[in-house]
Amino acid sequence: MPSQSLTSVLHSQNFIAGKWTAQGTGSLVVLHKYSGKTLAELPLATGAQVERALQAAHEMRLPFSKWSAGKRQDHLQRLHDLLQQSRKEFADLIVAEAGKPLDYAQTEIDRCLATLSTAATECVRFAGEVVPVDYGAGEGKSAFTKRIPVGPVACITPFNFPLNLVLHKLAPALAVGCPVLLKPAPQAPLVALAFSELVKQAGYPKGVLSTFVCDNQVAEKIVRDERVAMLSFTGSDKVGWFLKSICGKKKVALELGGNAAVLVDESADLAQAAQQIAVGAFLYAGQICISTQRIVVVKAVFEDFKRLMLKEIKTVKVGDPSKKGIQVGPIIDSGHLQRIAEWVGEAKASGATVLAGGRIQDAKHNLYAPTLLADVPAAQKVCCAEVFGPVAVLEQVADFGAAIECTNDSAFGLQAGVFTNNLAHMRQAHEDLEVGGVIINSIPGFRLDSMPYGGIKDSGLGREGVRYAMEEMTEPRLLVY
């Protein structure tokens, strides 16, 4: 049985057009990711229920778009305050259903509060622009734009940040006046459903939010439906690009992850770099789309860095995510655990050297040992695909230019970290790295919830970060007079 703190926020129903419903077709069992025990059993939403959610969102699109900025701000602040009051219960639920280490789950709640606070602030300063037209054929005229919400947004989110990645879609939508249809990850939907109750308590009318789990066929109906004005998806590149191909004329924002690289040059503080990279590669068992996967080090400092990195790996704590100080908890399910083991096995068979880990540490609890590989052929999945596990690949290159070329030799381009104290290398990285963000003297996993975030190539399109998502969810309407 779930603990009392979890019971207070657990919902075993879908939230359809502002109402909880226990009816559905089939069921989804959500497991505690460390113990393997059942947390909840949810009904899968039917096509008819999703139709009610779609129609309610469609009917609410105009009334919600007319809310004043002040009213939208007040409601977001209520949401912030309600979450603050239940922060312990929400953090515990994230630990249970997502297997996230407790310290990191508490940090996620802090970030959720910051996301809501930022959205509330942006409500009253988000605006269009004055357009200069007073010349030529426009002489004597004035022009400006107003940002208009696009309408209902279909949001599909992953398991690894089961609340904050929901809020990176929901908070901007609420800030501009777009209704939301939310499909959280089936591995970890409970915290999104728990937050839906806060939305109800905050006084939002029915139709502003529907949150539900459903099968893929029903989910595709939402993506294809013409009443949905925008699709916002975070997940795998394969699924994301497929959904884009079937969504029709609607706007699309895709955040699709990658195989993030960090570059280390001869001017870097190697001890600092090794300490941060060990965290960046293995925290939350590497189940972060900007987890450090490729470590590209110039030859002049390669051996020194490797020695320091191996020393740091020995300090990484693996185990029960509910315990303080644990950094590596369970892989989300046994299927992904076996996939990671297979990818590492394939790399070893191709000649890779295992410097650390390289094995399942505890199959019962889905724990994989923090792993560092070297001498890995570039075509191996642990290099060119997204591992989404506690596995990093150490690569030696001749110089910083070669490090950039190595990093760019990827189908992905989300974020990269660069450890350097060379100003010319910082400028070169910003100019030449084919990624959405370059983080200096830190890991690629650095993210503030207000900054623009997104990638290029197979890593997606569009940008999140509260204000930038608000821009994605609105269109400029021009007035000339």
**Residues 290-342: tens digit of each pLDDT:** 999 999 999 999 999 999 999 999 999 999 999 999 999 999 999 999 999 99
pLDDT at res. 170:
98
Q: Token digits for 418?
A: 């660069």
Instruction: Delimit the domains of the chain by residue range.
Output: 4-256+459-480, 261-449
| Strand 294-298 to 261-264 pairing | parallel
Is the pLDDT at 4 greater than 80, yes or no? no
Smallest CA-to-CA distance from 327 within 99, 107, 33, 101 is with: 101
pLDDT band at residue 217, thresholds of 50, 70 and 90? very high
Confidence at 6, pLDDT banded by 50, 70, 90: confident
Alpha helices in 202-333 (DSSP H): 216-224, 237-246, 270-282, 302-313
Per-residue pLDDT, averaged over 363-391, amounts to 98
Dihedral (CA of 121, 125, 127, 129) sign: negative
Strand order in the sheet with 437-440: 353-356, 371-374, 391-397, 294-298, 261-264, 415-419, 437-440
The answer on pLDDT for 380 being more than 70 is yes
The DSSP letter of residue 32 is P
Q: Please, what CATH class does the domain formed by 4-256+459-480 belong to?
A: alpha beta
pTM listed for this prediction: 0.96
Whole-angstrom distance, CA of residue 169 vs CA of residue 252: 12
Mean per-residue pLDDT over the chain, rounded: 97
Of residues 384, 396, 380, the one with CA closest to residue 305: 396
Summarize pLDDT for 436-477 with one digit per residue, the tens: 999 999 999 999 999 999 999 999 999 999 999 999 999 999
Which token pair is 34?
Answer: 């460390």
Q: Which sequence positions are flagged as catalytic?
A: 255, 289
* CATH number of this structure's domain 261-449: 3.40.309.10
Q: How confident is the model at residue 1 (pLDDT cuts 50, 70, 90)?
A: low
| pLDDT tens digits, 111-160 | 999 999 999 999 999 999 999 999 999 999 999 999 999 999 999 999 99
